């Protein structure tokens, strides 16, 4: 998570039952390499102690005592100037009201008023409190002041009732923080489409023909593109993964569905990380094939070649861009091969007119499908190569996004 590495994050914790989630958030941010300074309100301290945060961040946590302590006035001004972002999670109705009206009566609210950095809040409260016209007006005021808001989510509330007011989970707050920090990255203002997962070709209403792709590499690419400030569209087949916060997600199943979506899209770059089927059943049985009818003979046909079709069909009139213009300025492919890796990848690079291809040796135990690491060689259209040693799919994604950004410069 290089986007968070070395970043100075101020985490405000207010008096909500959801304050326990802030400890997890502080821990995740610290593990990702951020310097996390926590400020608790008096009510926040009733729910979690400064010691909890000191233990997970390795830094002292601040309370209202520090507002009147030795560092006094310097503290809030310094924090407000040096932080990359002020995150208030959970944010109570009370703190929202104070922030909306410029009230600065504790260390957190005085810091927020002095802050020159972006402010992100994750509201947490009972559904009735969130729905109250006063809270709604405060939320609208905060948004009009440029404060960013994560959630709240629908679901079980501490009151025992269900409704909208739950603080979003820490991993989602983390996603919002990444979006804010990435805003001015190398891909700011660029649109990137990433495809992910293994396509599913129906045999009958019950059975499918698919592959082992987990979608991990594609999702990591979408996250890395977001971290670089891109506007990301993730076209994904069903996976067990949670899409990164901020991506526009389009769900598809078959190669045809993926093609139907892509043919209506244009972007600065297309990264085809999905494992799209080469073959599909020629006929899809209308009813479930029954065992009693014997072993079926399933005839296959070639599935549409998505890359070939979308790269050879320029934009038409009415697509929002000049007709005849290339659909994608940069196209990146993946070649998952079990033999003759580089030869096969080079052939695909050339035949599909790609800018570069990530050749992926799926015969290696520590690379390829459904695991966290990958061993990739990048082959470029100009004939150069770059071998990426064994690394996490996140790191591999960051390298691929760096090259994509370089080609778009």
The residues that are catalytic are: 211
For ligand FMN, the closer of residues 92 and 404 by Cβ is 92
Per CB under 6 A, 237 contacts ligand FMN: no
Cis peptide before 90 (omega within 30 of 0): yes
Kind of pairing, strands 356-361 and 373-380? antiparallel
Alpha carbon separation from 195 to 220, 222, 264 (Å, rounded): 11, 9, 14
Per CB under 6 A, 125 contacts ligand FMN: yes
Residue 10 belongs to what H/E stretch?
strand 8-13
Kind of pairing, strands 300-302 and 279-281? antiparallel
For ligand FMN, the closer of residues 94 and 169 by Cβ is 94
Per CB under 6 A, 153 contacts ligand FMN: no
Spell out, one character per residue from 32 to 71, where the chain touches ligand FMN: x when CB under 6 A holds, - when not.
---------x-xx---------------------------
Which of 7, 1, 10, 147 has the alpha carbon at shortest distance from 80? 10
Per CB under 6 A, 152 contacts ligand FMN: no
Per CB under 6 A, 15 contacts ligand FMN: yes
Q: Count of residues binding ligand FMN (CB under 6 A)?
A: 15
Closest approach of ligand FMN to the CB of residue 65, in Å: 14
Residue nearest to ligand FMN (CB): 15
Q: Which residues contact 103 (CB under 8 A, 6 or more apart)?
A: 97, 109
For ligand FMN, the closer of residues 107 and 252 by Cβ is 107
Per CB under 6 A, 111 contacts ligand FMN: no
Give the residue, chosen from 9, 110, 121, 124, that forms a contact with ligand FMN under the rule CB under 6 A: 124
Closest approach of ligand FMN to the CB of residue 89, in Å: 12
Strand-pairing partners, residue 9, are 36, 85
Per CB under 6 A, 94 contacts ligand FMN: yes
Burial profile 32-59: b = 16 or more Cβ within 10 angstroms, e = fewer:
bebbbbbbbbebbbebbebebbeebbee
Q: Are 254 and 199 in contact (CB under 8 A)?
A: yes
Q: Are 124 and 92 in contact (CB under 8 A)?
A: yes
For ligand FMN, the closer of residues 18 and 194 by Cβ is 18
Per CB under 6 A, 17 contacts ligand FMN: yes
Which of 145, 152, 148, 98 has the alpha carbon at shortest distance from 130? 152
Q: Considering only 29-37, 88-96, 142-150, 369-377, which stretch makes contact with ligand FMN by CB under 6 A? A: 88-96
For ligand FMN, the closer of residues 18 and 38 by Cβ is 18
Q: Which positions touch ligand FMN (CB under 6 A)?
A: 14-18, 41, 43-44, 92-95, 124-125, 129
């Amino acid at each position: 998570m290089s986007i968070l590495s070395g970043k100075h994050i101020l985490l405000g914790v207010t008096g909500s039952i959801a304050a326990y989630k802030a400890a997890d958030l502080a821990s995740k941010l610290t593990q990702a390499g951020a310097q996390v300074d926590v400020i608790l309100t008096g009510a926040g301290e009733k729910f979690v102690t400064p010691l909890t945060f000191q233990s997970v961040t390795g830094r002292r946590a601040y309370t209202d005592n520090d507002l009147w302590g030795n560092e006094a006035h310097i503290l809030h001004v310094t924090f407000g100037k040096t932080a990359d972002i002020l995150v208030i999670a959970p944010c109570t109705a009370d703190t929202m009201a104070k922030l909306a009206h410029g009230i600065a009566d504790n260390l957190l609210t005085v810091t927020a008023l002095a802050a020159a950095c972006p402010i992100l809040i994750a509201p947490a409260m009972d559904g009735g409190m969130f729905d109250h016209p006063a809270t709604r007006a405060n939320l609208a005021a905060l948004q009009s002041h440029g404060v960013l808001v994560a959630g709240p989510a629908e679901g079980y509330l501490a009151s025992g009732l269900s409704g909208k007011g739950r603080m979003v989970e820490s991993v989602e707050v983390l996603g919002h923080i990444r979006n804010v920090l990435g805003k001015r990255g190398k891909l700011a203002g660029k649109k990137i489409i990433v495809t992910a997962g293994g396509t599913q070709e129906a045999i009958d209403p019950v059975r499918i023909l698919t592959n082992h792709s987990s979608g991990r590499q594609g999702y990591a690419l979408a996250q890395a593109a977001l971290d670089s400030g891109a506007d990301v569209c993730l076209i994904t087949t069903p996976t067990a993964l949670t899409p990164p916060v901020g991506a526009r997600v389009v769900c598809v199943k078959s190669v045809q569905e993926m093609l139907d979506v892509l043919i209506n899209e244009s972007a600065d770059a297309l990264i085809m990380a999905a494992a799209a089927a080469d073959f599909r059943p020629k006929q899809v049985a209308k009813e479930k094939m029954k065992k009693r009818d014997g072993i079926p003979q399933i005839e296959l046909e070639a599935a549409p070649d998505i890359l070939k079709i979308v790269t050879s069909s320029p934009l038409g009139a009415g697509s929002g861009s000049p007709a005849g213009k290339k659909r994608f300025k940069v196209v990146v492919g993946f070649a998952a091969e079990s033999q003759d890796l580089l030869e096969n990848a080079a052939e695909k690079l050339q035949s599909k007119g790609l800018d570069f291809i990530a050749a992926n040796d799926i015969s290696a135990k520590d690379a390829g499908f459904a695991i966290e690491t990958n061993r990739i060689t990048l082959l470029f259209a100009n004939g150069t190569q770059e071998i990426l040693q064994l690394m996490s799919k996140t790191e591999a994604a960051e390298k691929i996004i760096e090259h994509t950004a370089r080609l778009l410069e």
